[in-house]
């Protein structure tokens, strides 16, 4: 039953925690998942639904409650720690505060599972390290001290270290947590390009939904009934699994845009007309203050956006009053009253 293209697959895997005085606390039940080479997989789910526990189990840190999983056709139970280090590597969110260690040194630690008892670097090790530094764009920074880097750079260095470890799978736990938006995108597109470059399998957990939707080939979506739905991001949106997994009272998944929106009941409806981009951003502002923008003629009011010699003017027709604004913030201020 072993399929050769599968790097990792699970067999009736159940993960959770053993408890002393009670039954096992099951987080995810009876999973049959598989990872193929060259796939970028995102593990999505609400906090507390077992993302970290599944990652801990799949990386061999924690024992499964039931079932088994196989890496390169071999059961996890038959791996020594030192062997496992050659087939899977991890990147964590640990805030590392290490002293006098250069970027090059951190990356070269990735070679430790492959070199001798003292950790001496061979010619091949140097070649791998230089290659990894080059591809991750870290070559100009290799002499920099790790402790002096920004969080995003530290994350990159840890990813480079995992690449130097040269494993078939890389697991990343929340690689974009604590980073600003541009850096998040940078890190995720880096993962994307690594898949192409090295033909590795990468699996990362995230609760950054819209970015995950844009990046991942496959999403493992943790549902509310302790299962995992697998599929391309688009499939999971269209078959409604996304909405089911995440919808709460206050927020609602917006399938057209692939984002979450605060779920407010709107009393007022206003129609917005004008240049497409101007309309989109004006609508966003209106939605924020709880005004619906469903455009029809029965609306409570309307806004016409006009471009006057390169400057935008908003004409609001509301409560049979005509008012003119020169910025969205003015408009919002008025409507809030």
Partner 1 sequence: MSILKRKKIIAAFLFLLLGLFFFFDIVLGSVKIPFSDALNILMGSSSGNPVWNTIIIEFRIPKAITAILAGSALSVSGLLMQTFFRNPLADPFVLGISSGASFGVALVVLTAGSIGINLFFLSGLLNKIGITIAAGIGAAVILLLITFVSKKVSSNITLLIFGLMLGYIIGALESILKYFSSPENLQGYVIWGMGNFGNVIWNDLFLLIPIILTGLIIAFILSKPLNLLLLGENYAISMGVNIKVIRLLIVIAVGILGGVITAFCGPIAFIGIAVPHITRKTLGEFDHKILIPAVCLVGSILALFCDIISQLIWHEQTIPINVVTSLVGAPVVIWIIIQQRKVKHSFAME
Which two tokens mark 163?
């690449």
**Binding region for partner 1 (CB under 8 A) out of 7-15, 117-125, 224-232, 264-272:** 117-125
Per rule CB under 8 A, is residue 82 in the interface with partner 1? yes
CA distance 238 to 244: 12
Give burial (CB, 10 Å; 0-12/13-18/19+) of 187: buried
CB atoms within 10 A of CB 277: 9
89 is a site residue for partner 1 (CB under 8 A): yes
Report the residue number, 171 or 325, with the smaller CB distance to partner 1.
171
We find the least distance from the C-beta atom of residue 133 to partner 1, in angstroms, to be: 18
Q: Count residues contacting partner 1 (CB under 8 A)?
A: 37
* Residue span binding partner 1 (CB under 8 A) among the ranges 148-156, 169-177, 252-260, 300-308: 169-177
Residue of the chain from 34, 93, 131, 226 that contacts partner 1 (CB under 8 A): 93
| 88 binds partner 1 per the rule CB under 8 A | yes
153 binding partner 1? (CB under 8 A): no
Question: Applying CB under 8 A, does 160 fall inside the site for partner 1?
Answer: no
What are the E-state strand segments in the chain?
6-17, 25-31, 34-36, 40-44, 66-71, 74-75, 88-91, 169-172, 201-206, 218-222, 228-231, 251-254, 259-262, 268-273, 291-292, 301-308, 311-318, 321-325
Considering beta carbons, is residue 84 or 289 the nearer one to partner 1? 84
- The residues, ordered by sequence, that sit 6+ positions from 41 with a Cβ below 8 Å of its Cβ are 35, 201, 202, 203, 204, 216, 217, 218, 219, 220
Query: Closer CB to partner 1, residue 2 or residue 118?
Result: 118
Q: Does the footprint of partner 1 cover residue 251 (CB under 8 A)?
A: no
**47 scored as a contact of partner 1 (CB under 8 A):** no
Tell me if 110 contacts partner 1 by CB under 8 A. Answer: yes
**Buried/exposed code over 223-253 (b: 16+ C-beta within 10 A; e: otherwise):** beebebbbeebeebbeeebbeebbeeeeeeb
26, two tokens: 């099951």
Write the CA distances from 308 to 94, 277, 312, 326, integer angstroms.
52, 16, 6, 10
Choosing from 6, 56, 264, 269, the residue that interacts with partner 1 (CB under 8 A) is: 56
Nearest approach in angstroms of CB 100 to partner 1 is 5
Under rule CB under 8 A, residue 299 binds partner 1 = no
Cβ(285)–Cβ(335) below 8 Å: no
174 binds partner 1 (CB under 8 A): yes
- Residues 112, 151, 247, 269: which binds partner 1 (CB under 8 A)? 112
Stretch that binds partner 1, among 2-10, 92-100, 129-137, 324-332 (CB under 8 A): 92-100
Residues lying near partner 1 in the complex (CB under 8 A) are found at 52, 55-56, 59, 61, 81-86, 88-90, 92-101, 105-106, 109-110, 112-113, 117-119, 165, 173-174, 177
């Amino acid at each position: 039953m072993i399929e050769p293209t599968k790097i990792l697959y699970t067999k009736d895997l159940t993960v959770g925690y053993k408890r002393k005085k009670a039954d096992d606390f099951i987080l995810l039940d009876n999973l049959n998942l598989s990872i193929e080479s060259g796939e970028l997989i995102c593990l999505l789910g609400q906090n507390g639904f077992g993302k970290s526990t599944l990652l801990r189990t799949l990386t061999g840190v924690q024992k499964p409650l039931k079932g088994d999983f196989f890496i390169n056709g071999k059961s996890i139970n038959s791996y020594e720690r030192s062997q496992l280090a050659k087939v899977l590597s991890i990147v964590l969110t640990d805030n590392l505060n290490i002293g006098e260690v250069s970027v090059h040194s951190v990356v070269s630690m990735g070679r430790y599972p492959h070199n001798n008892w003292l950790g001496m670097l061979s010619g091949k090790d140097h070649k791998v390290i230089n290659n990894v530094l080059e591809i991750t764009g870290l070559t100009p920074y290799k002499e920099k001290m790790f402790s002096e880097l920004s969080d995003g750079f530290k994350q990159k260095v840890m990813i480079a270290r995992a690449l130097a470890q040269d494993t078939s799978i890389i697991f990343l736990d929340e690689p974009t947590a604590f980073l600003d938006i541009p850096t998040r995108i940078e890190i995720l597109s880096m993962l994307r390009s690594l898949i192409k470059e090295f033909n590795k399998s990468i699996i990362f957990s995230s609760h950054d939904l819209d970015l995950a939707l844009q990046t991942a080939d496959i999403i493992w979506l943790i549902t509310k009934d302790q299962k995992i739905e697998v599929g391309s991001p688009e499939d999971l949106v269209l078959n409604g699994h996304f909405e089911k997994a995440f919808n709460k009272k206050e927020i609602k998944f917006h399938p057209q845009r692939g984002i979450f929106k605060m779920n407010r009941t709107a009393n007022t409806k206003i129609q917005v007309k004008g240049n497409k981009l101007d309309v989109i951003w004006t609508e966003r502002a209106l939605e924020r203050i709880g005004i619906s923008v469903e455009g029809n003629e029965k609306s409570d009011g309307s806004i016409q956006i006009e471009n006057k010699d390169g400057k935008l003017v908003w004409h609001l027709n509301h409560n049979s009053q005509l008012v003119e604004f020169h910025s969205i913030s003015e408009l919002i201020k008025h409507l809030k009253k």
